[in-house]
Chain A
């Protein structure tokens, strides 16, 4: 009796399980949503809002245009902006809230390297794709095995190694160098990489001063006086925003820029603001290959239209954070298209989307970017130039623009940057020649 009842029950259970298993692939395809919610963290307050607010304006323009063109595979994108200026702890809880309560499927975070280091493991834990869109620290990805975290731009190692190569290309005979960087993680870390590579490539250079004034310092008079006494051949600064503007203005007003060759690795962001304060002949870096007058892309229809629209909207020309934002969103769009194609035209789930980022090749507004499949690190060309006056603009523009390709100046996957930079030899100077951008 018991046996006769048990058999049909087992049979029914097995049948149900078999049906369930057979339908699994169908459940694995995520249902196509009405809108795709994405979280974007950017500085809307504090001194870093000089990057954050233009980048937010860029995101607004991009998403408006994307939605007007039908969105991604017919799905409109809905951004949720989060202010990075609120501090690490609050940002973290906001990040979780946007993913878990508001249902964001992609997070575009962050500007601050500290925030990237904090949020990357959280994204991995939440299984949400996180695009590191602007932060520089190589440590965000190095030494980790993330499946959901990718970077759509270069990291600090690429930027600093390329900077050293460029400096040695345009000024191969300098003997002394002084650095004036902001006293926080980026200022210190970027100098560590730059000085380590410089030591490998040109060991005879004497570092005459390492100055790290307070972040947000309003007065650089003592630093400028000391540099006037030391008269280094080159003054390097990786500072940005108000700090860089103040330092350059005080140095320029006191004639320091006539005595030493200035190299401002993030100077592209200050060109418009500094107006005629910045003299001719200053070496400028751009954290990527973006520049609104880039010889290669100034007449590219999409780039040109974007620059015009951005200028109309904000009254300013785009700076690198603007390009990085567009690049991140272009990366996201490209990954979705790749994932949809790989999924037979079906909307992808988070895992499939993350898989599409590995080895992704896409283009933002300037050169193509490749995302390494091994570690999710983006390879982005680096642009440098020299300031010169222009009859068309009230501020200095760049001439003699040079480009450094990223692949040979980026730490190979699986290696540690602080060890890799010590293995760089002067042979790199022959292998990686900064190239003149096509005029």
Chain B
């Protein structure tokens, strides 16, 4: 394998991993704190994409400013994340201390409803707004043209979100409260932390992250019915391989899956589709708890 191909495959892999990480991050973050496996996370991705594209179509047309386009993408993601996150949280409120399977089924039901809602609002024809990609231009590396949006912006946004989330959890009161609830909900409640409020905050932050993944994907991909289902399956592969609730683990696993996928395209295209799941199966066979899950003390 030539060094050119090695570099090109790495660049493609990093770009893809950035997007994958953002979506998986929301899923793993929610599970880490409120212990709910949110199947409707795929809908958050889809609505984030559609919301951002709609804002771009309404207000972004005619504007040449990349800043305006980026602001619209982020606004769309936040709006959709807050609304759907709140709706999901309200739905799950009645099932808070019930069997986790029941909670999973509620999110699955919500996912099906959101799918229909999405079709009712945006129809079935592919939908996209690509202004920001054109505004950010292209770069040429070793004779291959890259979109700056995919090469720099998406991986940069993923890293920025990662560090911002780390800072939020470690350095702010709300973040530390989230960490406390994650470690021990009962003790945190006994110390005066409103675990329900923290649960809601976590759910909304996680929902915004999923939605942001969709919003950042929307300028390069076509939004179609079913797009949420595709992404949720891939996100589960990342989260299961990393270990549920592992933020740094999700970043590294997304990178691993992104890179292995792009190397496959160059070296063994027939394995491209199965690679994320192959990695997941191998990881689960060797470490069923996931690559980055730490040993936890059992409560008695």
Contact = CB atoms under 8 A, between A and B. Distances in A.
A221 B15 contact: yes
B8 interface: yes
A52 B125 CA distance: 10
Given A225-B12, A250-B147, A253-B134, 20 more contacts: A53-B123, A214-B272, A218-B19, A218-B230, A219-B220, A221-B16, A221-B146, A221-B150, A222-B16, A226-B265, A242-B224, A245-B128, A246-B222, A249-B222, A253-B133, A253-B138, A254-B144, A255-B138, A256-B145, A277-B130
Interface of A: 44-47, 49-50, 52-53, 183, 209-214, 216, 218-219, 221-223, 225-226, 228-229, 241-243, 245-246, 249-250, 253-256, 273, 277, 316
Contacts of A242: 126, 221-224, 227
A216 B8 contact: no
B265 A222 contact: yes
A218 B134 contact: no
Contact of A47 (B217, B220, B225): B225
Contact of A211 (B220, B261, B269): B269
B221 A218 contact: yes
A249 B128 contact: yes
B9 interface: yes
A229 B226 CA distance: 32
B143 A229 contact: yes
A49 B225 contact: yes
Contacts of B222: 241-243, 245-246, 249
A47 B269 contact: no
B144 A225 contact: yes
Contact of B221 (A228, A246, A273): A246
Contacts of B11: 225
4 pairs of A and B residues whose beta carbons are closest in the complex: A242-B224, A242-B222, A49-B124, A222-B265
Contact of B269 (A209, A216, A246, A250): A209
A390 B170 CA distance: 58
Contacts of A49: 119, 124, 225
Nearest to A183: B273
B67 interface: no
Contacts of A222: 9, 12-13, 16, 261-262, 265-266
B226 A211 contact: no
B87 interface: no
Contact of A254 (B13, B145, B224): B145
Contacts of B144: 225, 228-229, 254
Interface in B68-85: none
Interface in B32-47: none
Say what secondary structure dominates the interface of chain B: helix
Contacts of A250: 147, 220
A197 B133 CA distance: 39
B273 A214 contact: yes
A319 to B, nearest CB: 10
A249 B128 CA distance: 10
10 contacts: A46-B226, A49-B124, A212-B273, A213-B273, A219-B220, A222-B13, A222-B262, A222-B265, A226-B265, A242-B223
Interface in B207-227: 217, 220-227
B6 to A, nearest CB: 12
B4 interface: yes
B30 interface: no
Contact of B227 (A209, A211, A218, A273): A218
B99 interface: no
B125 A273 contact: yes
B5 interface: yes
A288 B220 CA distance: 30
Q: Chain A CB within 10 Å — which of B128, B138, B223 has the most? A: B128
A404 B230 CA distance: 38
Contact of A45 (B9, B119, B133, B231): B119
A249 B226 contact: no
B269 A210 contact: yes
Interface in B83-129: 115-116, 119, 123-126, 128
Given A45-B119, A222-B9, A212 B270 contact: yes
Nearest to B267: A226
A83 B123 CA distance: 15
A50 B224 contact: yes
B126 A218 contact: no
Nearest to B49: A218
A100 B26 CA distance: 48
